[in-house]
Amino acid sequence: MNKCLLCDQTIAAVADLNMIFSFRSIVMPVICSNCTQSFVSLTNQKTCLDCGRLLKQVDVCSDCHYWRQHGHQFSNKALYEYNPAMKEYMSRYKFIGDYRLRQVFRNELSQVIRASRKVIIPIPVSVDTIKHRGFNQVTGWFKKVNYYDVLMPIKKKKIIAQSEKNRQQRLQTPQPFQIIASAQSVILNQDVLIVDDVYTTGTTIRHAANLIQAAGARSVSGLTLCR
């Protein structure tokens, strides 16, 4: 019997005949149905064209409209809403550093990434984060994904600094990344997909996109687990 990675409840074994005869590999659930239902999927929902957040009436949200007015258009897709259950998940996975929890979204995210057939570039974490946490939360979700470490963080403590700033200050944040020179050929004339955990203000992923675009990519878009 499996136990739910999030709440420790026993997961009822389901032998679904469709699954068994589908010739796909059977993926055992790692979280229970209650925990699954606590996350809000954005797949097949109407979302902002630029950042991927849930939207009812318009095509582009007010934040992204603001970005567009300042000459920054970008296209990001997100798989889930950043709701309280997702915040709790992120804090256990990232800040407590429970590496087992990568399994919760690994299959789904990796499938979407592989289906894109693009050059995959994850947002990197700082050397300090690797020392403390031991892993990059983004590549932790990758399964059979070929990716390239093209970006390198310039500043330390980026994440803490970001969350303490207001929107105006964030727009003016200096570029936190640089491109690894030897990796530049990977980008040239390619369609690139940048992958990150959460799209919050959009500053991080848009900075990365600007750099990659300037380095000669044909197109650059984003994919985040949540928005």
Interface positions with Zn ion (CB under 5 A): 4, 6-7, 32, 35, 48, 50-51, 61, 64
Task: For Zn ion, give the closer residue by CB, 36 or 219.
Answer: 36
Instruction: Write down the least CB distance from residue 211 to Zn ion, Å.
Output: 21
Task: For Zn ion, give the closer residue by CB, 17 or 96.
Answer: 96
Token pair 């970006």 is at which residue?
A: 151
Q: How far apart are CA 11 and CA 32, in angstroms?
A: 5
Q: Is 158 helix (H, G, I), strand (E, B) or coil?
A: helix
Task: For Zn ion, give the closer residue by CB, 51 or 113.
Answer: 51
Which helix (H) or strand (E) segment holds residue 220: the answer is: strand 219-226
Instruction: Write down the least CB distance from residue 87 to Zn ion, Å.
Output: 16
Instruction: Write down the least CB distance from residue 190 to Zn ion, Å.
Output: 25
Instruction: Write down the least CB distance from residue 156 to Zn ion, Å.
Output: 29
215 contacts 179 by C-beta, under 8 angstroms: yes
Instruction: Write down the least CB distance from residue 132 to Zn ion, Å.
Output: 27
Q: How far apart are CA 112 and CA 132, in angstroms?
A: 29
DSSP line for 1-56: -EE-TTT-PEEPP---HHHHTT-SPP---SS-HHHHHTS-B-TTS-B-TTT--B-S
Task: For Zn ion, give the closer residue by CB, 64 or 209.
Answer: 64
Task: For Zn ion, give the closer residue by CB, 139 or 221.
Answer: 221
